[in-house]
Chains A and B, each alone.
Chain A
Amino acid sequence: MTALDPDVAQAAIEHCYDQGWSDGLPLVPASRPLVDRFLATTDRRPEEVIGRLAQVGREVTVELAAINAAMAGCRPEYFPVVLAAWDALVRERATGGGGWQSTSGPAPLIIVNGPVRDELGFNKAGGVFGPGFRANATVPRALGLIVRNALGIHPHVFEQATQGLPGRWSICVAENEEESPWEPLSVEAGVPAGTSAVSATLLRTSEFVDNRHTSDAEQLLADFADTISRTGAWIFRHASAGVVFCPEHAQLLAGAGFDRATVRAWLAERCGRTVGDLADVGKDGMGDNGVRHASGSRPDGFDVLLADGEPGHLLIAVAGARNAGISMVVRLFSDWSATAVPVETKEP
């Protein structure tokens, strides 16, 4: 190995900035040998097209994904997870349309299950939505760089986010399967137990529910229902959401006999607002196109927020430390495909 030369590294980093490749933070210069190490982790051909955006006429190949994963700071062995996360996002209806360009500037939520979590050092416990772990930080960053550099979606041009949101390209959590009372999310989504897999969807934001106040499962769920039912997040006839429960909340619910399906059913029945509440904010009217508007002419009643209790409209996962009753409600941009993509590594 040659001596480390910070000045050469600095020049290469600045070169990446000059090319317009950066998301604002320094990039790892992607040399040919480095990219080849990424490509060596998968059986997929470098030229395989793994995504396209018709309106801008751009495509993503495995090699372009590898280059951007390298620049994002991934280790080569993360690359199969990047590919699975990308494939999971491609399954989302919005990402093939206007999702990447939306005025809402949605952020991917990446959830990792299976042995790869520990093999690659994904954080599943304390601070799981925060910084500090290379795998959690660089995998979603790679996705953002793919959108920027392969699809050509740049802020202020084709990316039209009004304000965007904190966490875009940085929300990647491993599920805390060891402290979850329920089966892994990937298993619910149809992937065999013990298989590493990635689930993904787009978020408008995330917001905490801090409840260290009750041991009653229905009181706890009512606190989530209140947050989920916030009118500001409600645009169309229905909205979709998710909850990333902390282990304490999940275990309390499981102890009272709730599994994922019954949590969803309970929330699907109770999340919503009265027509009067919705009229107060100009969202009581229902047009033919499904977009809410100010009406003021509906009789009072109760509009449920979730279309139903299916996983695609209410994603439930478990992550974080078991040191407090603090969970996260996530706001889905659209709905979730309710599928997970297995992480495929190269055949030996």
Chain B
Amino acid sequence: MICSDAFVATADAMAALRGAPGYRYLTTPHPVAILTPDQVRERAAGLAGAVAELLTA
């Protein structure tokens, strides 16, 4: 899961509520909604390694 860094408190609370405190996820700087397609690709490229690491950890 990738979460905008503005929603960390909510994500952590939801993880704890659902019985997974400390659930690991990735973050990306807020805001996301106004990014251009190229900027989204840039974000994705920057996170790809971390996604692979998280999924295979």
Contacts and interface: CB of A to CB of B under 8 A. Distances in A.
Interface residues of A, number: 8
B7 A158 contact: no
Given A157-B10, A158-B13, A160-B10, 12 more contacts: A55-B14, A56-B14, A56-B17, A57-B17, A57-B18, A101-B10, A156-B9, A157-B9, A157-B13, A158-B10, A158-B14, A160-B7
The prevalent SS among residues of B at the interface is helix
Contacts of A55: 14
Interface of A: 55-57, 101, 156-158, 160
A160 B8 CA distance: 11
Contacts of B14: 55-56, 158
Interface residues of B, number: 7
A210 to B, nearest CB: 34
A158 B14 CA distance: 8
A76 B9 CA distance: 37
The prevalent SS among residues of A at the interface is loop
Contacts of B9: 156-157
Contacts of B18: 57
Interface string B1-25: 0000001011001100110000000
Interface in B1-57: 7, 9-10, 13-14, 17-18
A20 to B, nearest CB: 14
A316 B52 CA distance: 54
A160 B10 CA distance: 8
A55 B14 CA distance: 9
Nearest to B13: A157
Contacts of B7: 160
Nearest to A291: B33
Contacts of A56: 14, 17
A57 B17 CA distance: 9
A235 to B, nearest CB: 11
7 contacts: A55-B14, A156-B9, A157-B9, A157-B10, A157-B13, A158-B10, A160-B10
A156 B14 CA distance: 12
Contacts of A156: 9
B11 to A, nearest CB: 11
A134 to B, nearest CB: 34
A105 to B, nearest CB: 13
Contacts of A158: 10, 13-14
A157 B10 CA distance: 5
A12 to B, nearest CB: 29
Complex A-B, nearest 6 residue pairs according to Cβ-Cβ distance, in ascending order: A157-B13, A160-B10, A157-B9, A158-B13, A56-B17, A158-B10
B47 to A, nearest CB: 22
A213 B13 CA distance: 53
Nearest to A56: B17
A35 to B, nearest CB: 27
Contacts of B10: 101, 157-158, 160
Nearest to B36: A294
